[in-house]
Amino acid sequence: MPKLANGMCSKIRLASAVAVLSGVVACGASNAPSSASSASSNSTAPDASAARQSAAAPKLPEVAPPADQTGGFDGAKAYEHVAKLVSFGPRPPASEGLRRSQEYIMGQLKADGCEVDQDDFHASTPKGDVVMKNIIAKAPGGGQGIILLLTHYDTLSSVANFVGAEDSASSTGMMIEMARQLCGKKGPNSVWMAFLDGEEAFVNWDQDDDHTYGSRELAARMAVSGELKRVKAVILADMIGQYTLKILRQSDSPKWLNDLVWKTAGRLGYQDIFVADSTQTSDDHDPFLARGVPALDIIDLNDYISAGYWHTPQDTMDKVSPRSVAIVGYVILESVDELQKKFR
Ligand SMILES: [Zn+2]
């Protein structure tokens, strides 16, 4: 993919501490805020206490706001899902932890009345042929249009004892609650929520397309079936639970889609989290962008790298704030509503 070839901020390519530090500069030199500047620009946030002393490091435990303050989105429930997924241990593709995650996700989706599709496929990886599964929950729509929400639910296999609380349980727990919110509703467009396998690299993100196996499978499958033409917008969530969350706009994504989500976040009072700076991240939205579908990534990668937790055994539940998960869920839920109005 061109972005990877250009050495942009691929999600997985940095391995050593030195590389991580240089990667932050390379990926975000033009506009990513330093932890110091982001802290000073954030003085109106309700959690403006010790929690911001170092990026992503929790100092005070937070709770999710009551659901009636976040549009019905139940952050406490979402956080319980995050904890449950982490309790299954490491969740790399084709592992026992992943199998238990699949069972849990599908059980929740079915209990919420979602129509659930399973796509079992084989991915050709540097470690050989690996069986993978995408899970797609579908909320009904009155017309042909599709709003597609994405999260990955696998974890990195190459780091021992890696349970991925932030990467990828935070967005997956959030998406399970999103399905509870949306599966019983019928909007102008269907809302599909895809839980993707195989986002993480097996060996090296930058070699031989060793990444985003699930999203590439989904985009290809939807292109063949003709469903991809019906997709109005794709919103990916990935790494959305940090205490000092800062989501940057994505310069590769359409301006209108960035604007729609950032205006929604601003209207809800979360401009301290959805900040004005831009970055570019290679992630599961790329296969859709590459096929001309408007797609956006909601992610805070740089701060997690700076804090030293990204792709380490320290990516644990204490790094995930129920409040951050709730707020991102609320913003996405309201953004889906804006998309429904835009494409009614
Ligand atoms: Zn990752």
Quote the ligand 1 centre to 201 CA distance (angstroms).
8
Mean pLDDT within 57-78: 89
Ligand 1 centroid, distance to 124 Cα (angstroms): 19
- Quote the ligand 1 centre to 153 CA distance (angstroms): 10
Residue 20 identity:
V
DSSP state of 16: S
51 or 179: which leads in pLDDT: 179
Distance (angstroms) between ligand 1 centre and the Cα of 145 equals 30
- The partner residues of 153 in beta bridges, in order of sequence, read none
pLDDT at 39: 33
* Cα 315 to ligand 1 centroid, rounded to whole Å: 10
* Residue from 238, 231, 221 nearest 289 by CA: 231
Convert the pLDDT of each residue in 302-319 to its tens digit.
Answer: 999 999 999 999 999 999
Q: Can you give the pLDDT at residue 48?
A: 38
The DSSP call for residue 269 is: T
Place of tokens 């996700």: 105
Residue 24, CB-side half-sphere exposure with 13 Å CA sphere: 19
Q: Which residues does 188 contact at the CB level (< 8 Å), separation at least 6?
A: 141, 142, 143, 145, 340, 343, 344
Residue 147 reports pLDDT greater than 70: yes
Instruction: Please state the pTM of the whole predicted model.
Output: 0.86
> Residue 65 C-alpha to ligand 1 middle, in angstroms?
27
Q: How far is the CA of 141 from the centre of ligand 1 (A)?
A: 32
Model confidence pLDDT, tens digit, residues 241-283: 999 999 999 999 999 999 999 999 999 999 999 999 999 999 9
What spacing in Å lies between the alpha carbon of 21 and ligand 1's midpoint? 17
Tell me the DSSP string of 111-134: HTT-EEEEEEEEEEETTEEEEEEE
pLDDT for 259: 98
Backbone angles phi, psi at 281, to 5 degrees: -125, 135
Predicted pLDDT of residue 61: 79
Planar angle of CA 250, 267, 27, nearest 5 degrees: 20
CA 144 to CA 271: how far, in whole Å?
33
Q: At 59, is the pLDDT very low, low, confident or very high (cuts 50, 70, 90)?
A: low
Q: What is the pLDDT of residue 166?
A: 98
CA dihedral 271, 276, 280, 284 (to 10 degrees): 20
Between the CA of 331 and the centroid of ligand 1 the distance, in Å, is 23
Long-range CB contacts for residues 261-267, cutoff 8 Å, separation at least 24: 261/235, 261/296, 261/298, 261/331, 261/332, 261/335, 263/338, 264/331, 264/334, 264/335, 264/338, 265/331, 267/334
CA 13–ligand 1 middle distance (angstroms): 10
Output the CA 169–ligand 1 centroid distance in Å. 10
* 225 token code pair: 């079936």
Residues 6+ apart with CB under 8 A from 11: 199, 205, 211, 238, 281, 282, 283, 301
> What pLDDT is stored for residue 29 in this prediction?
30
Tell me, what CATH number does 93's domain have? 3.40.630.10
**pLDDT tens sequence across 3-38:** 333 334 445 444 333 333 333 333 333 333 333 333
Average pLDDT, the chain: 87
Distance from the CA of 306 to the center of ligand 1, in angstroms? 14
Q: Which domain holds residue 312?
A: 2-342
Q: How far is the CA of 226 from the centre of ligand 1 (A)?
A: 30
Tens digits of residue pLDDT in 94-123: 999 999 999 999 999 999 999 999 999 999
How many domains does the chain divide into? 1
Distance from residue 156's CA to the centre of ligand 1 (Å): 6
Q: Which residue has the higher pLDDT, 55 or 327?
A: 327
Whole-number pLDDT of residue 20:
37
Query: How many angstroms separate the alpha carbon of residue 189 from the centre of ligand 1?
Result: 31
Q: Residue 235: pLDDT band by 50, 70, 90 thresholds?
A: very high
Alpha helix ranges (H) inside the chain: 2-5, 17-28, 35-40, 75-87, 96-111, 170-182, 213-225, 255-267, 286-289, 302-307, 322-342
Q: Using the mean position of ligand 1's atoms as its centre, give its distance from the Cα of residue 181 in Å.
A: 26
Give percent above pLDDT 90 in the chain.
82
**pLDDT score for 11:** 56
Query: 213 near 114, Cβ under 8 Å?
Result: no
- DSSP letter at 168 equals I
Ligand 1 centroid vs 190 CA: distance in angstroms? Answer: 29
Q: CA–CA separation, 202 vs 170, rounded Å?
A: 21
Query: How much distance in Å is there from the Cα of 166 to the middle of ligand 1?
Result: 9
Q: For residue 21, what pLDDT is reported?
A: 37
